[in-house]
Amino acid sequence: MKRVLLLSMFTFIFSTSFAQNINWVNRNGALKVVGGKILNSKNVDPQLRGVSLSWSIWGGKKYYNPNVVNWLQSDFNISLLRVSMAVQPDSGYLQNPVEQEKLIARTIDVAIKQGLYVLIDWHDHHANEHLEQSKIFFAKMAKRYVGKPNVIYEIFNEPERIEWQTVKDYAVEVIKEIRKYDAENIIVVGSPHWDQDIDIVAKDPIKGFNNIAYSFHFYASEPSHQELLMKRADQAISAGLPIFVTEWGVGEANGDGKFDVEKTDKWFAWMEKNKLSWANWNITDKKETTAILQPGASSTGKWKLNMLTPAGLYIRTQLKKFNK
C-alpha cells in the first residue's frame, strides 16, 4: 500500500511539475484572416496567448536564448512568443544589423522547433523613416521562414504621432516586399498613436492583400487607457477589422506605475470575450511594474515563483489557466 501511495504521489508531482509542451502549430496549422477574424486551419479562432521579450538590447537581451524559450513554453504555457528587435536605439538593428539578425533568428528558430507561434516585431516607433532597412530585413525573414506557419510579421511597432496615411504607405511597401517571398503568413500593421487609434484604421484599411491584421496596444492600469480606448477597439471590431493585441501591460503606459488588478481583470476579460490573440509586455528583470521578472532573475529560465514580479505571477497564472 505504501509503495502504491508513493507511486501515486510521485506521479502527481511529476504531472504537475512538467507541462505538456503543446505543439501549438500542429494543433492550429497555418493562420489566416477571414471576415475580420484571425482563424486557424480549421476555421476556428485559435486565440494565441503569450509574452513579449523585451528590446533585444540593454538588459532584455540576455533572455534571447533557447533555455528561456523552452521555459516559457513548459512553465508559462505560452502559445505565442513576440521577439522585439530593437531598431533605432544604440546597438539596435540600424547600427548592428548582423548581430541583431543573428540574435533574433536563433530565438525564432527555437520557438519554431517547439511549435510556438512567433511575432517578428520591428520594434521601431519611427519605422516610416527606415523603410529601406525594414524592407531588407523583412525580405530576409520572409525568405528564411517561408513555409513556416509559425511566423507572423509585425512590421511597425507603435507609430508615434504619425498620420494613418503615412503608416499605411509604409506598410504597403513592406507588405509588397514580404509577399515576394511569403504569400500567406499573417502580417500585422501598426496603428497610429502608439497602436491606439485602431478606429481610424478601421475606416480606411489596407486593400489588395490577404492575411493582413492590425495591432492594438493598451496598458491596463493607465488612466487614459480605459473606457475611451476600449470603445475605439470595439468600434474597429464591429467594423470587421482583424485585431491582434501584440503588446499590453498590467501597469501604466510608461511600463511602470500602479498595477491595478481590477482594471487589468476587466481588460483581460475583454480580450477573452473578443477572442483576441495577445502578447504581454515583457520578459525583463528591469525594476518596473510591467517587468515579469525580479531583478537578477536567471538568464536561462527555470525561475522559481519568488523570482517573478506581481505582473509575472499574474500572467503566468492566466496563461496556465487559459492555454490548454
Gap between the Cα atoms of 207 and 198, Å rounded: 16
DSSP state of 87: -
Q: Which one, of 20, 57, 114, 75, lies nearest residue 300 by Cα? A: 75
Helix and strand tally (H, E) in the chain?
Answer: 11, 10
Q: Which one, of 26, 22, 131, 34, lies nearest residue 87 by Cα? A: 131
CA distances from 239 to 8, 17, 121 (A): 53, 44, 26
Active site residues: 158, 247
- Helices 310-322 & 261-273, crossing angle to 10 degrees? 30
Gap between the Cα atoms of 289 and 286, Å rounded: 9
β partners of residue 50: 80, 279
Side chain identity, residue 254: N
User: Cell numbers 502559445 label which residue?
Assistant: 79
DSSP state of 293: B
Contact 72, 24 (CB under 8 A): no
Gap between the Cα atoms of 129 and 16, Å rounded: 49
Burial tier of 240 (Cβ tally within 10 Å: 0-12, 13-18, 19+): exposed
